[in-house]
Chain A
């Protein structure tokens, strides 16, 4: 069983509240560039990008800074990370994030803080 954040783009109203909640929790700053979840407005449904804990990045990390919790969540250990961004390049969904001036990548750890802030339940934590 894997803990993942599941997205429902048909419900999403692109209010970006989840991005604020995530960035505030992770970096104590209200900046969408620091959010693990990314909402992009398009002509059709909004695109909701978030890590699906597929583990592809784990094998790419040269320092073993990426590990998997018993719930199947991929974590970055900053102490071990040397900021090479190999995991960023290899992520098939583009969900390993970086920000302007940052030294380490960051990603969704399925903590669920965004789900609590979403007014329309367009994101949910599920066990896969």
Chain B
């Protein structure tokens, strides 16, 4: 029944070839506008300097866009790449795709690391990267048939595009029968991506046990909006030949041996360490609450007794247990929990049983505690609708939290929200926002623009104080904060705001190292950590790997090693499997240099697009310290002590507002000093630009890169 109702608008045949040592050495280019489909060679320079995955994405995008390209310019690209290690079935966490595009929220490149089967299948179909450019004049589906070696652009007049239904329909349409469903994977967004900017892409994988299409999200920065702006309804890939040696590693035995060692470690340690196999990342809920780090009321507080109702054991009651829950084959960490047969109580799918993937920690915190929504089922409902409509749960949670705080201050009222009562914890109103966002109407449409644009609207149209909005609007560079309360950890503040794409914890998550364990006390220590960890974590994006099997499980003797935070044994595993797959030399230092090249390239790319300046690395004050009196008073003892011990000022007799002003000056100064130290360590100027010497030393002094640097440093 393959695409019989669809018109073939363009078609391209290519030669099927086995992969060599993790690479195909070609990429797939598709222009939706003039419907050109072609393959491009992956050059030695690309492999040597950009490695793969995010590196290839950025390289291709750089050459595809212009200096003044906006997210909705036809030449903006949406790239998806996979990396040489991606798709191996031996080492846990090896199935990630990396999506990049010029973000509608930030105007600079955004990158997302996403699971599901689309990436590995597209790689095994013959391509190291997929580059989508141009805008179609009609709705289309792009179909890659990796069994036959054919790529097609197909017409798509499908009415239902919400992912939980659409992905499944396309799997049924493109698979050669129900026993072959697992060979098809779909990328789609949802109705919200027709107008909202805080939208994502869903990458599917067929769950053979549950017999449903599960969805993983390329969540951050508005990838879904770019996808729909190009009038793509879906990407579909079919690949049926997956075997243990499809990635053609040079040394399969070492790869399997290293993978087996980690499987055994997970088997022995997960139940006492992070419980990923039981509850996925939601295990963090109670931990973050215990340490006063869980975002509550728009990141105002970090702890509340009510939060116990969102503890992981409450979600566990809703999860279906005992299944292989990996988002790619061979991931024994298996964090992808699901709620089966969930019955939404609102919206178009009210009362229809659905399978909800998650919630993960970010969703539980963003759509739960940060909004004071304390019923796990309400969180699951928001999770379901965010996913199926194609909305980023993180940006959604942070945007709604911002609105609720504005409502509390009277900046918003029922008149402005179209009747929505946005008091803290109002789940019904939050449901209504999400449905409006999907329909592209009402107040929901405004929320869908994200915090930065809302700040401008509330100031311009409702006369709100821009300074207050700046302090409480949890965005930087235009991207909404992910869900950690960073006020009490300077290193985490830097981890967030210095992240190239905007405040997301995937570059550096240093809260525990810094605040709880006090292992990086000086600016130099923090700068070192803010250099090493972003570089190390960038490497996952170059290879097509998931970060969780790196440190969400640790070898039993890890605490006795010289650098436990780096998990040295696992770093060595990565060195070993890289060599086993590609046959190329690597050690833990060259691993960091591989990342450094791409990281600095991305930084210069941001500069080229008008970002990447020091001013772009400045956080809202809510991420740094107490904005309001009640916030100060909630931690008065701690803050008063800091005034005495850290600043040398006696708080007695001072009013709260006086104390807050002193505190603010101190904390903002600390942050500035941190930035200075980190820039120095990264080889950047005080303005945040890589120096020519540094680019030379890492081998990233390409002419096009130096040209941009010269523009900025003239």
Contact = CB atoms under 8 A, between A and B. Distances in A.
Interface of A: 59-64, 81-86, 88-90, 98, 100-101, 103-104
Given A60-B324, A63-B208, A89-B266, A83 B260 contact: no
B115 to A, nearest CB: 13
Contacts of B330: 62, 82, 84-86
Nearest to A92: B267
Interface string B243-269: 111000000110010011001101100
A62 B323 CA distance: 9
B302 interface: no
B661 interface: no
Among all A-B residue pairs, the 8 with the closest Cβ atoms: A83-B244, A89-B263, A84-B330, A82-B89, A62-B324, A89-B264, A85-B260, A84-B89
Contacts of A63: 182, 208, 329
A104 B322 CA distance: 23
Contacts of A98: 256, 260
A84 B90 contact: yes
B146 to A, nearest CB: 16
B208 A85 contact: no
A83 B208 contact: no
Contacts of B90: 83-85
Interface of A is mostly: loop
Contacts of B329: 62-63, 82, 84
A60 B332 contact: yes
B208 A59 contact: no
Contacts of A103: 243-245, 252
14 contacts: A62-B324, A82-B89, A82-B244, A83-B90, A83-B244, A84-B89, A84-B330, A85-B263, A89-B260, A89-B264, A89-B266, A90-B267, A90-B332, A103-B252
A97 B695 CA distance: 50
Nearest to B242: A82
B390 interface: no
Nearest to B321: A59
B326 interface: yes
B4 interface: no
Interface in B205-247: 208-209, 242-245
B210 to A, nearest CB: 12
Given A82-B244, A84-B90, A84-B244, A89 B332 contact: yes
A65 B134 CA distance: 42
Interface in B175-213: 182, 208-209
A100 B208 CA distance: 30
Given A85-B330, A86-B263, 7 more contacts: A59-B323, A62-B208, A89-B266, A89-B267, A89-B332, A100-B253, A103-B245
Interface in B327-383: 329-330, 332
Contacts of A59: 322-324
A112 B252 CA distance: 32
Interface string B647-690: 00000000000000000000000000000000000000000000
A15 to B, nearest CB: 30
B253 A88 contact: no
Contacts of B322: 59
B326 A85 contact: no
A84 B256 CA distance: 7
A98 B259 CA distance: 13
A104 B323 CA distance: 21
A92 to B, nearest CB: 9
Contact of A83 (B209, B256, B264): B256
A59 B323 CA distance: 6
A96 to B, nearest CB: 11
A85 B329 CA distance: 10
A64 B209 contact: yes
Contacts of B260: 85, 88-89, 98
A27 B323 CA distance: 32
Nearest to A100: B253
B683 to A, nearest CB: 40
A60 B260 CA distance: 13
Which of A81, A84, A85, A100 has its CB near the most chain B CB atoms (within 10 A)?
A84
A100 B257 CA distance: 10
A100 B256 CA distance: 10
Interface in B62-121: 89-90
A104 to B, nearest CB: 7
Contacts of A62: 208, 324, 326, 329-330
